[in-house]
Every structure is written in C-alpha cells, then in structure tokens.
Amino acid sequence: MDATTLLAGVQAYAHAQNEPDWLLKLREQAVAAYFKLPLPKFEKISYKDWPLFNFTAPTATVSEPVTGELAATAATQQFYAVGDSTIQLTLPAEALQQGVILSDLRSAIQHHGDLVQTYLMQKALKLGDDKLTALNTAMMTNGFFLYVPKNVELKAPIEILQVVDNRTQQNYFSHNLLIADTNSQVNVIQRLASVGDQANAAHVLVEVVAEANSQVNFAGIDTLDCRTTAYLNRRGYLANDAKLDWELAEMNAGDVIADFDSELKGRGSEAMVKTIAIANREQTQGLDTRVTNYGKKTVANIVQRGIILDAATLIFNGIGHIIKGAHGAKADQENRLLMLSSKARGDADPILLIDENDVEAGHAASVGRVDEQQMYYLLSRGIPKPEAERLVIRGFLAGVITELRSQRLRHELNALIERRLTDGND
C-alpha cells in the first residue's frame, strides 16, 4: 500500500471513529514514520519476507464470539475480545470503587482521552522507534486499556483473553496499554489465541508503564495457531523503584517475531523477564529480549529457555544494555535451548552492551540436548522414553516459570507444553 492510500485509509477510519484531533495527528505522523523508518533489526532473525505487511486500510470489523474450549476460558476473563470486538468486560466492585479502569482502547479514547493521550506512544514506546511500531500506531483498531490509580493494590489478577479472528481474512492491529500509577500493584495475565483457518498477520503492541514504586506482574501466554504470522512487542517503562516481572510463554505454532524490551529509567527500578518457548515443525520463532539500565542501581534479569523440535528455528537474543550514568546497575541473563532434532536450528545469543564502569553484568548461554542423567533416572523407573523425554523437557521449561502465582496457571502451562510437544506426533 502506498503512502497516499494508507494515509487516506487511516484518516477515514479516524473520522469514522470520531477520534480526537491529537490522535488523528499521531496517526498521520505514524504513517509518515512507517514509510521513513527501517524495519527493526534483530540479530540472526530474518523476517522481511514474512506476510506481515498484507494489510488493507483499517476498518471496524465485527467478530462473533468463539465456541468450544476457548469459550470456556473466555467465560472466566475480565477482558475478552475477538478480533476488534470486545465481548466481555468485568471488574470486581472493589476495583471499580478504587478507580481502576479496564476498558478497550476505543472507549478509553472517548472516555479517558487525557490518560490515553498522556501515555499512548509517549513513554514505553515512541513513534520514532521503528517501522513496525509506527505501522501499528497508524493502523491500530483496538486493544485493552488498564489503569490502576495511585496506591491501589489489586490482589486478584486481571485476566485478558484476546483472540485473533482467522475465520475471515482481516487485519489485526492491537494496541494495548497498562498504566500502574505510583505505589500501585497489579497482576495481569494476557492470553493471545486465534480461531479459524485463514492466514492472517497479527500485530500486537503492549505498553506497560510502571510508575514510581509500583509493582507489575505480567504473564503472557501466547498460543497463536500456525496460520497466524505475528509481530509481538511488549515494552515496559519503569520509573523510580518500580518493579516489573514478565513471565512470557511463546507457545505459538506460526512464525513469530517477538520484541520484549524493558526500559529501566528510574533509579532503583528492577525488571525480571522470564521467557519460555517451543518451536516445532517448520516454524520460526525469534525472540529478542532486551533490558536497558538507564537509572542508577537498576537491576535487569533475563532468563530464556526454549525447545526446538522437527525442522523448526528458535532464536533467543538476550540484550543487556547498561547506559553511561547507570552507576551500580546490574544486568544478568541466561539463555538456554534444547534441540530435539538434527534438523532443528537454534541460537542463544547473549549480547551485553556496557557503557559504565561500576556495574555488574553476567551471562550464560547454551544450546544442548536432553539431559542424559535425567533421562536414565526416569527410564529406570519404567517410564517409557517418549514420556520420559516430555517430562525432562517440561521440567526444563517449567522450572523457569516457578513463580507463576497460581497453581491453576501452572497446570494450564504444563498442559500447553505437553500439547505443543506432542503436536504432530499423533
């Protein structure tokens, strides 16, 4: 699509949605940025030929709810959307009384325009970052919006299910915003799934702003099917003494490029990123996880573990970047991959960029095979080889995500891992 056509399409959509002028202006700048900026570069991940750019002008598509297994999950969610359509929104009365806002992006633009304007593409992500974030900003049609006011501590997790609608060919540009204001605490579980058998591209941005002294625990469980080619970007911004814990499970079956970055802007802020992934069949998943220490005494931790089966490719880039002035900063990372097939391709690349002296930085990386001693132990108890292998592998992954707060979530994850490992063997 050329610049004029895209601009006209974006303008028409903004008018149809009665969007405020500031947003129209932002979208127009985004169109220009999209054509000007290069694609973001991720070491050893080549995605320029993926069908991520087969989009049409933005429209407000209406999607029906899903049925089956996914519908059962949907029923328990605080936020549930299919395609651009928000199907379900609930918040406990207590959270509402405390001023927590959970809505979709469209209505947040109308009803909480000032908040959206303050944060959208202003702190976590910015328009000049790269081509893909610019494209999303120009094209975004919906997403979730969660605001937790100052001093509010939400105990129960906010669960969000977003389903990419592959029942018809359509765009999916989702832009999500989570703001944890000063001194607040929140747990969020975001599930990305898909339905239908058409091939679509999914562009998903999540901006997480953790204001001073806030604590955000963000679990992402992504299970997009093999027909969904995805660009996932989850970006955290941390103010003074804020803590952000990411636990991300990439259980997608299609080609995925994921950019999971956190900016430790505030003094004493801490980010922990734990990612697990399974790649199988012919799929490629490239995960670029970066934490940048700007503030003094900031702490960055990255742990990534992945399994590669069949002829799949899985790439973990772990980037620890300590900016000049970040005295006393710490950056640590561990990237480990297990290859279960001779045709599998994998890379675990630790990249440390250190521009300050009085800091601590460490890394570990490995690409290996299943632990023979663990296998022998399980076999010696009579557990057949395929099952023993699955247990060892599951342990390798699940051992990382030990902090998952609820047992229900752990079971869900174990079942997902099991399903991914046996996919194609039955």
Partner 1 sequence: MSTLVIKDLKVSVTENEQERLILKGVNLTLNTGETHAIMGPNGTGKSTLSETIMGNPAYHVVSGQILLDGVDLLKMSVDERARAGLFLAMQYPAEIKGVTNIEFLRAAINARRPKDDQISVTDFLALLDKNLAELNMSTSMAERYLNEGFSGGEKKRNEILQLLMIQPKFAILDEIDSGLDIDALQVVAHGVNAMASPDFGTLIITHYQRLLNYIVPDYVHVMMDGKIVKTGDAQLANTLEAEGYAGLRDELGLDVPLTDDDVE
**Residue 422 binds partner 1 (CB under 8 A):** no
Interactions with partner 1, residue window 312-371 (CB under 8 A): 371
Nearest distance, CB of residue 369 and partner 1, angstroms: 14
Residue 329, CA distances (Å) to 187, 237, 273 in order = 26, 16, 16
- Tell which one of 342, 357, 373, 425 touches partner 1 (CB under 8 A): 373
Q: Which two tokens stand for residue 374?
A: 């663990």
- Tell which one of 340, 395, 418, 423 touches partner 1 (CB under 8 A): 395
**Residue 163 binds partner 1 (CB under 8 A):** no
Residue 132 or 388: the one with the smaller Cβ distance to partner 1 is: 388
Q: What residues form DSSP beta bridges with 192?
A: 162, 222
Residue 182, CA distances (Å) to 101, 128, 237, 402 in order = 15, 27, 13, 28
**Residue 405 binds partner 1 (CB under 8 A):** no
Residue 167 or 410: the one with the smaller Cβ distance to partner 1 is: 410
| Long-range CB contacts (within 8 A, 24+) of 10-15 | 10/57, 10/58, 10/138, 10/139, 12/57, 13/57, 13/58, 13/59, 13/60, 13/141
**Residue 391 binds partner 1 (CB under 8 A):** yes
DSSP 329: -
- Tell which one of 47, 383, 405, 418 touches partner 1 (CB under 8 A): 383
Give the contact letters, 279-308, x = binds to partner 1 (CB under 8 A), - = no: ------------------------------
Residue 82, CA distances (Å) to 61, 68, 166, 193, 394 in order = 10, 14, 10, 9, 30
Q: What backbone torsions phi and psi does residue 58 show, to the nearest 5 degrees?
A: -65, 140
DSSP 119: H
Residue 342 or 402: the one with the smaller Cβ distance to partner 1 is: 402
Q: Which two tokens stand for residue 382?
A: 């009579």
- Tell which one of 111, 387, 415, 424 touches partner 1 (CB under 8 A): 387
Residue 325 or 399: the one with the smaller Cβ distance to partner 1 is: 399
Q: Are the C-beta atoms of 337 and 292 separated by less than 8 Å?
A: no
**Residue 419 binds partner 1 (CB under 8 A):** no
**Residue 399 binds partner 1 (CB under 8 A):** yes
Nearest distance, CB of residue 231 and partner 1, angstroms: 30
- Tell which one of 5, 128, 355, 376 touches partner 1 (CB under 8 A): 376
Q: Which residues, in sequence order, are CB contacts of 78 under 8 Å at separation 6+?
A: 89, 90, 91, 102, 158, 159, 160
Closest CA to 176 of 139, 134, 141, 207: 207
Residue 127 or 398: the one with the smaller Cβ distance to partner 1 is: 398
Residue 418 or 423: the one with the smaller Cβ distance to partner 1 is: 418
Contact residues for partner 1, defined by CB under 8 A: 371-374, 376-385, 387-388, 391-392, 394-400, 402
